[in-house]
A and B are shown apart, each in its own frame.
Chain A
Amino acid sequence: MTGSSLTVEGVSKRFGGLLAVNKVSLRAEAGKILSVIGPNGAGKTTFFNLLTGIYEPDEGQVLFGNRNITGKKSDSIASLGIGRTFQNIRLFSGMTVLENVLVGHHNRIRTNYASAIFRWGGFGKEERRAEARAHELLRYLQLDERADDLAANLSYGDQRRLEIARALALEPTLLLLDEPAAGMNPQETEDLKHTILALKADLGLTIVLIEHDMAMVMTLSDRITVLEYGSVIADGLPEEVKANPRVIEAYLGKGGANA
C-alpha cells in the first residue's frame, strides 16, 4: 500500500451567511503527514466533511491522486480509499469491536447476497479472511483482547484507536484523522504518536491530521496548514509555521512559547 496525494483547490462552503470554508487550497504529498490546525471554529472539521463528501463544496475542487472527487458521495469516496475518523466519536456502539472493523471491510468482502443467505460459494473463506485481517488490525492498535466487547464499553482512548482501526479496514491510501488525541491521557497520546508514525512508515499512508495538541502536531507533521475563520493564513514546514507571527497571534497565542 502506498499513499495517494490530495490536492484541494479553492474549496469554499457557505452555510447561510456564514462562510465556513473560504477558498482553501492545500496539498498533502503522498506518504507524508499534513496537519491542519486552527482555533476552534476555524472550519477544520467542515473542511474534512467537504473532502469526504458529507458536504458538497460550493466552489473549488478536490483531487485524490489524479482523480477529481468533488461532489462525489461519501460511500464512493470511502471506497476509493479515503478513510476517516470523527472528532465526536462515531463508532457503531451496539456492535462488537471486531464487527466495527468488519464493517470497514464491507467493500473488500466479495460475497454476494445469495451466497450470504446460503453460506455457499466461498462465503466462509471470505468471512474468515476478513476476520483474520480485522484481528490483525486490532492487534496493530492493541485492541485485540477487546475484540468481542461492545464498542460502547471501551475506554475513551480505546474508542479513538478503534476508530482508526475501522478506518484502516477500508485499506485506504489517505487517512483523515479528526482530533485523534482529544480526551486521551499523556501516555495514550504518546502511544498514538508512535502509531501514527508507524502507519506512515509501515503502510506509506498519506495522513491529514486535525489536532489541538501542539507538541504532537510539531513532532508528527511534515507540513502544517493553518486555518482561521475558514481561510488559510499560513502553510509550511512546522518550524516556519511556528515562527509565523500571524499564526502566533491568531492561534498559538501565549501557548506558542511551549510548542
Chain B
Amino acid sequence: MNRFVGAVPATARLAVTVLLLAAMGGFLALGWGAAAVLAAYATLFVLAAFPPDPRWKLAALAVLTLEATLGLASKIGGDLLFIALVGVLVLLLRLPKVAVWLKVLLGAAVLLLGIPIAGFANTFLFELGIQIGIYSAMALGLNVVVGMAGLLDMGYAAFFAIGAYTWAIFGSSQVQHFLTTWVPLNGNFVYLFMGLAILATAATGILIGLPALRLRGDYLAIVTLGLGEVVRILANNLDHPLNLTNGPQGITGITKPPIEGFQALLAALGIPRSASTDYQLFFYLLVLVIIGFIVLVNVNLARSKFGRAWVAIREDEIAAKAMGIPMVKTKLLAFATGAAFSGAMGVLFAAQRGFVSPETFTLTASITILGMVVLGGMGSVPGVILGAAALTILNLDLLKGFSEVLNTMRQDGTVLLGFPMSQLPSQVDPAKYERLVFGIILILMMIFRPEGLIPERRGSREEEA
C-alpha cells in the first residue's frame, strides 16, 4: 500500500480526511452510536487508503479504538468493529518509532476498556474474546513445537483434551461414577488443577514423544495424528466398564471457580453487573493474565539456549547434533512445553464452558490450531496470536453471521439481483463451509505470504513494506 502513498499529494490526503470527518459530524444527527460507527469506518478507510506516518498512525489508532468502542457499546457497530479492535492491537505491535509506554497505554485501553465495554453491550463478544484467548494460548504452545522446533504435531488437541477432562472429571459429579465416596471438588481447585494438568500433559507429551520423536517430518505428523485420535477415542469410549469420561455424552455441570471476591470488587468499582457478564468478565480477565504469562514464557524460552537449540534442530538436525545438542532430550522438552500450555488451557476451557465432550477434540481441532500457527507465521509470537484471532473470529463469528444473514433473506423472501433468495438451496450455509474457507485462506497465503501474516523476525533482516 505504501507504494501508492507517494502518488497522492499530502494536501489531497488532508482534504479527504477532513471531508470524511466533516461528513461524520453530519451523522451526529443520527445519534452518538451511529456517528461513532460511521466515524470508525471512516478512520479504518483513511488508515488503509492513506497510511500516515507512525506518530499520526498511533493517534489514528487511538481515535479508532474510541470510535469502535463507542460503536460497539451502542450495539449498532457490527463485528467488523470488533475485528478493528483486534487489528489495533496487531498494528500496535508493528508500530515503529513510538514510545513503548504509549503503545502499552493504548493496548491496555483496548484490552481492559474497549473489549469489556463492547462485551457488556453484546455478551457474545466476551465469549469471542475468551475463545480467542484460549486458542491463542494453545497456538502459542504449538508454536514451540511446530514453529520453533519444527516438529509437525497433528495431534495437539489430545493435550487440550487431557487438560479439559482432568478438571471435568474431578470438578463435577462424574468422579462419583468410579469413586463413590468422593465429593466433586469446589471451584477453588481449578487453579491447582491447572498446575496438575500442566504436569499431566507434560508427562503425556514425554510418553507420546518418546516413541514418536524417533521419526521426522511427515512420519512424525502421521504418528502424532494417530496418537491424537487415540486420546479422543479413549474419551469417547471410557464410559464402560468403568465410567471415567461419560463417553460421547460428555460431562456436564463442571464447577466454575468462585468469583465472590471478584464480584465484590466489581461492586466496589461501580461496574455494572449481571449474573452472566460477571463470569464472562472474570474469565476474560483470567485469560488475559494467562496469555500474558504464556507470551512471557514463549519469548523468554525463545531467547534462551533452549529456544536456540529448538530453532537449530529445525534448521539443520545434523549440524545441531554436531554442536552437542542432545536430540531426544531437546525435542521432548519442546513437546512437553507445548503440551503443558495446551493442558492448562484445557482446564480453563472446561471450567468456563461447564461442559466437555469428545467432539471438541477431533483431528479438525488439531488442524485448526496448526492452521493458526501456519497462518500467523511459524515461530512469531504476534503472528501466532493474530492467526488464532483470525481463525477464531472466522469460525465463531463471520461464517455463522453470514449464514444467519442468508437465512433471514430466505425467510423474508428477499430478491437479490433478480434471484429470489427463498429458492436458495439449504445446503448453501457458510457456517458449514468452515473447512473450505480455511483451505482457501491457506492456499492464498501459501501463494502470497508463505511465511505467515507476521513472519518470524531474526537479526536485522529488512522488514517488508
- Interface membership of chain B positions 298-337, coded 1 if the CB is closer than 8 angstroms to chain A and 0 otherwise: 0011001110110110111011111111110000010000
Q: Is the CB of A95 within 8 A of B312?
A: yes
Q: How distant is the Cα of A119 from the Cα of B424 in the complex, in angstroms?
A: 59
Q: Is the CB of B306 within 8 A of A75?
A: no
Q: How distant is the Cα of A96 from the Cα of B325 in the complex, in angstroms?
A: 18
Selecting from B89-97, B173-181, B456-464, the interface stretch reads: B456-464
Residue of A nearest to B309 (CB): A106
Q: Is the CB of B316 within 8 A of A150?
A: no
Residues of B within 8 A of A117 (CB): 297, 300-301
Selecting from A108-116, A182-190, A196-204, the interface stretch reads: A108-116
Q: Which of B297, B301, B459, B460 has the most CB of A within 10 A?
A: B459
Query: Is A92 in the interface zone, CB < 8 Å from B?
Result: yes
CB of B349 to closest CB in A, whole Å: 23
For A104, give its contact among B301, B323, B326, B456 (CB under 8 Å): B323
Residues of B within 8 A of A90 (CB): 316, 318-319, 322
Query: Is A256 in the interface zone, CB < 8 Å from B?
Result: no
CB of B313 to closest CB in A, whole Å: 9
Residues of A within 8 A of B325 (CB): 75, 103, 106-107
Q: Which of A75, A107, A127 has the most CB of B within 10 A?
A: A75
Q: Is the CB of A150 within 8 A of B458?
A: yes
Residues of B within 8 A of A95 (CB): 308, 311-312, 315, 458-459
Query: Is A166 in the interface zone, CB < 8 Å from B?
Result: yes
Query: Is A54 in the interface zone, CB < 8 Å from B?
Result: yes
Residues of B within 8 A of A53 (CB): 321
Query: Is A94 in the interface zone, CB < 8 Å from B?
Result: yes
Q: How distant is the Cα of A166 from the Cα of B319 in the complex, in angstroms?
A: 10
Q: How distant is the Cα of A52 from the Cα of B461 in the complex, in angstroms?
A: 33
Known: A96-B459, A116-B305, A148-B459. Contact between A106 and B324, CB under 8 A?
yes
Interface residues of A (CB under 8 A from B): 52-54, 73-76, 78-79, 83-84, 86, 90-97, 99, 102-107, 109, 111, 113, 116-119, 123, 127, 130, 148-150, 153, 166-167, 169-170
Residue of A nearest to B293 (CB): A117
Q: Which of B297, B314, B325 has the most CB of A within 10 A?
A: B325
For B460, give its contact among A105, A130, A149, A170 (CB under 8 Å): A149
The tally of residues in B whose CB lies under 8 Å from a CB in A reads: 29
Q: Is the CB of A170 within 8 A of B333?
A: no
Q: Is the CB of B319 within 8 A of A54?
A: no
Residues of A within 8 A of B461 (CB): 150, 153
- Interface membership of chain B positions 424-465, coded 1 if the CB is closer than 8 angstroms to chain A and 0 otherwise: 000000000000000000000000000000001011110000
Residues of B within 8 A of A93 (CB): 315
Q: Is the CB of B326 within 8 A of A75?
A: yes
Known: A95-B315, A111-B304. Contact between A106 and B458, CB under 8 A?
no
In the complex, besides A75-B323, A94-B315, A117-B300, 17 extra interface pairs with C-beta distance below 8 angstroms are A52-B322, A54-B321, A73-B326, A75-B321, A78-B321, A86-B319, A90-B318, A96-B458, A104-B323, A106-B308, A106-B309, A106-B325, A107-B325, A111-B305, A116-B304, A119-B300, A169-B323
Residue of A nearest to B298 (CB): A117
Q: Is the CB of B319 within 8 A of A91?
A: yes
Residues of A within 8 A of B305 (CB): 102, 105-106, 109, 111, 116, 130
18 A-B contacts (beta carbon < 8 Å): A75-B325, A78-B321, A78-B323, A86-B319, A92-B315, A92-B319, A93-B315, A94-B311, A94-B456, A94-B458, A103-B309, A103-B312, A103-B325, A106-B324, A106-B325, A111-B305, A113-B333, A117-B297
Q: How distant is the Cα of A167 from the Cα of B311 in the complex, in angstroms?
A: 17
